[in-house]
Amino acid sequence: MRRLALALALALSACTPSPESYVGASAEDSAAADRAIEAGDRAAAIERLRAIVEREVPSSLAEEDARVIRQDAYDRWARVALDAGELDEAEAAVGRGLALGERDDVFTANLLTTRGRIHEARERDREAARDYHRALVIQEALLEQALGGSDE
Amino acid sequence: MSDDDDIDARELREAEALARALERGYAADDLPDDALQTAALIRYSKDGGALSEAREDALLEEVLAAADRAHPAPASRWRWLFGALGLAAAAALLLILVRAPDSSPTALPAPNAGLLEAELARLDDPSAEPRFDAEMRAYRGEVYAALERRYGRR
């Protein structure tokens, strides 16, 4: 009976991805995407970035930590697509990233800036200006915190 | 038929039922309550309520049969299965409790002034993108390092 319980417990733990494997695999994909971007290999970069956002998030990973990892990947995916003139793909990626939640941090500011670029490319100047302004407000607040912290 | 005849017939039936009750030690349905009490008293005064050996055996069989019906013997195979399932459920619950997620976000490093200035610069000037990319890559490395410190490295 003990063996049965142990086997069941092991099976349950095997079905749930661990947070260390999630973070580790995402870090590897992120570094590989950087190398692909530098090499100009757009398809390989997107494949790695897509792997990050499609990876199953472990239940034991804090939701905000998953958001940071995934928003960063969505922003880079959108920028790679934007640079290639794939506006629909870029807009879809940035939309999925912002749908994860908007916070006053670098990752949300990056997505807003990239969406502003996409609006600009589509000649939607008003929407572009709105996104740039929102990104600017976040970045100025973060800069103020950073400079204030360094003075102390 | 007169009332007297009717009363006599009823009294006769009750008397017969009383006689049977006294003889057998138990009453049939046709014996009224007062007659039943009378029969019990008479029988008790006669033999102290003692039951005959045959009656005792019959009662014992009835009691044992009733006890079997009330507590049927469980099938040992199912009992073991339920036990195993219970133990497995307890193990799963323990596993969940041990691995209960800490939902608080990781304390990530704050972005430095160089990154934020590069972010502001690229809003005005797209040619500032390479500088931003370099700063962001460095910051991303710090973020992953913080996450790996919390969750462990593969």
Domain residue ranges in chain B: 3-70, 113-151
Q: Is there a contact between B111 and A106 (Cβ–Cβ < 8 Å)?
A: yes
Out of A18-22, A79-83, B4-8, pick the least confident: B4-8
Q: Is there a contact between B118 and A113 (Cβ–Cβ < 8 Å)?
A: no
Neighbours of B110 (CB within 10 A): 16
C-alpha triplet A52, A23, A107: angle, nearest 5°: 65
Contact A9 B103 (CB under 8 A): no
The predicted-structure confidence for B82-140, as pLDDT tens digits, reads as follows 788 888 888 877 766 665 666 899 999 999 999 999 999 998 888 899 999 999 999 99
What is the least distance, in Å, from the CA of B73 to any CA of chain A? Answer: 23
- Taking CB atoms and an 8 Å cutoff, what residues of chain A touch B142? none
Q: Is the CB of B117 inside 8 Å of chain A's CB atoms?
A: yes
pLDDT, position B86: 84
- Location of structure tokens 């014992």: B60
Contact A23 B110 (CB under 8 A): no
Closest C-alpha among A42, A106, A105, A54 to residue A78: A42
Q: For a pLDDT cut of 70, what percent of chain A falls above it?
A: 87
Residue B70 CB contacts under 8 Å (≥ 6 apart), including other chains: none
Neighbours of B18 (CB within 10 A): 18
- Token readout for B33 is 């309550």
Task: Name the pLDDT band for B74 (thresholds 50, 70, 90).
Answer: low
How far apart are alpha carbons A76 and B135 in whole angstroms? 14
Domain A17-151 has CATH 1.25.40.10: yes
> Which one is predicted more confidently, B8 or A3?
B8
DSSP-H helix ranges across A1-152: 2-15, 19-38, 42-54, 63-83, 87-99, 106-121, 125-151
For range B14-18, the mean pLDDT: 68
Out of A50-59, A62-71, A141-150, B10-19, pick the least confident: B10-19
Q: Is there a contact between A101 and A70 (Cβ–Cβ < 8 Å)?
A: no
Q: What is the DSSP letter of B104?
A: S
- Taking CB atoms and an 8 Å cutoff, what residues of chain B touch A136? 120, 123
pLDDT, position B153: 78
Q: Is there a contact between A33 and A51 (Cβ–Cβ < 8 Å)?
A: no
Judged against a pLDDT cut of 90, whether residue A152 lies above it is answered with no
Q: Where are the domains of chain A?
A: 17-151
Out of A16-25, A32-41, A75-84, B25-34, pick the least confident: B25-34
> Which one is predicted more confidently, B34 or A45?
A45
What is the least distance, in Å, from the CA of B75 to any CA of chain A? Answer: 18
Q: Indicate the SS3 state at residue A58.
A: coil
The predicted-structure confidence for A95-104, as pLDDT tens digits, reads as follows 999 999 999 9
Averaged pLDDT score across all residues of chain B: 75
Single pTM value for the model: 0.64
